[in-house]
Amino acid sequence: MDRLDNTVRPYAWGSTTALPALLGTEPSGEPQAEMWMGAHPGAPSRTGRGTLVEVIDADPERELGPAAAKFGPRLPFLLKLLAAGAPLSLQVHPDLEQARAGYADEERRGIPADAPHRNYKDANHKPELICALTEFDGLCGFRDPAATADLLAGLGVDSLKPYVDLLRAHPEDAALREVLTAVLTADPDEMRHTVTETAAACARLGGDYAPYADIAHHYPGDPGVIAALLLNHVRLQPGEALFLGAGIPHAYLNGLGVEIMANSDNVLRCGLTPKHVDVPELLRVVRFEAGDAGVLRPEATPDGEEVYATPIDEFRLSRFVLPEGAAAHDLTLGTPQILLCTGGTVRAGEHELTPGQSVFVPAGERAEVSGAGTVFRATVVV
């Protein structure tokens, strides 16, 4: 079992206070957006044996067990603490077939890996799950088109009326596709005017419109503001989660959470960003299906584990809430795990963990936790 020393990423949208409050450190005044735990080459966790990339590369079968045969000689997930102080970009992720085809195509065309217009950094999909540690606001999936038509109509903005008519006049999938296409391909000057009027109306009306007013405050004139109005707004309470599968448009707005994802960098953006938006490729990947956001709540097992059930195998996230005086829990598994403390003080093997501290447990190695606090477990399904 290895204690992890993890990197904090200072993305501009990060909160200046949420991670320091969890870690019990003084804020630096700079944004602290994400703490990465895993073997991503961009910022691998460090151990007493070297980086986690080096540790796994030295003996994948020992460190990963049967996961090495199923997923290859690498840790197939990345675990994060994510602290959003401002909205992230509106985005979707490809499915595995799309990622493989897109990556192969861009490699064949010789697009440099670091080119700003490159869509596919690798050949993997990127399903992800966010579990709230505080109240957590986000956008997830398309709202029912009729409800969105009513929401837009309620703003009283003349330039939104064509979108209202489209949403009311077509079948669900066609309506959503036509409106998103129209928003993202509109004349930039006209769209800036529409966004400005929409933002003012959202701020004036408040209520259900308030989250979109805040988005517009951070991204003035961005067509992603109008695209965001097509999506479900959800406010997670601590312990609740969202699963973001392939093709589901989403954005995180504000709050602190534990995020886990398949190890990939493939993102197609819909707006709320100065980065490249490839509209034709985006429209190929987005799933134009309406429904609610699908809030997940953990399912308790007899041994005290609370599991966030998802339909993919690259990661499995669960948590243990250890009460004062409880017997030690044996968390030994035949698969690799990262254990993350988010509350209280717990002991994992020989390591005492306080909030924000974590350990890597190689496949099959004994893992016993005790103390009073909350521990998240990240592993895989084989």
Closest alpha carbon to 175 in 198, 221, 197, 143? 143
CA distance 64 to 61: 5
DSSP state string for 209-246: GHHHHHHHHHSTT-THHHHHTTEEEEEEPTT-EEEE-T
Closest alpha carbon to 345 in 331, 356, 334, 332? 356
Residue 137 near residue 233, CB atoms below 8 Å: yes
Amino acid at 89: S
The three-state secondary structure class of 201 is helix
Dihedral sign for Cα atoms in the order 273, 131, 316, 291: negative
The CA distances from residue 258 to 47, 100, 317, 339, in Å, are 21, 28, 9, 12
Residue 373 near residue 346, CB atoms below 8 Å: yes
The three-state secondary structure class of 97 is helix
Residue 66 near residue 4, CB atoms below 8 Å: no
Q: Which residues contact 181 (CB under 8 A, 6 or more apart)?
A: 279, 283
Which residue out of 74, 143, 269, 377 is catalytically annotated?
Answer: 269
Q: Half-sphere exposure (CA, 13 Å, Cβ side) for 97? A: 3
The CA distances from residue 279 to 43, 103, 271, in Å, are 30, 17, 10
269 is catalytic: yes
Indicate the helix (H) or strand (E) that contains 355. none
Compute the CA torsion angle 250, 135, 344, 356 (nearest 10 deg): 40
Angle between helices 172-184 and 145-153 (to 10 degrees): 50
Residue located via tokens 């999506």: 231
CA distance 282 to 89: 14
Which residues are tagged catalytic?
269
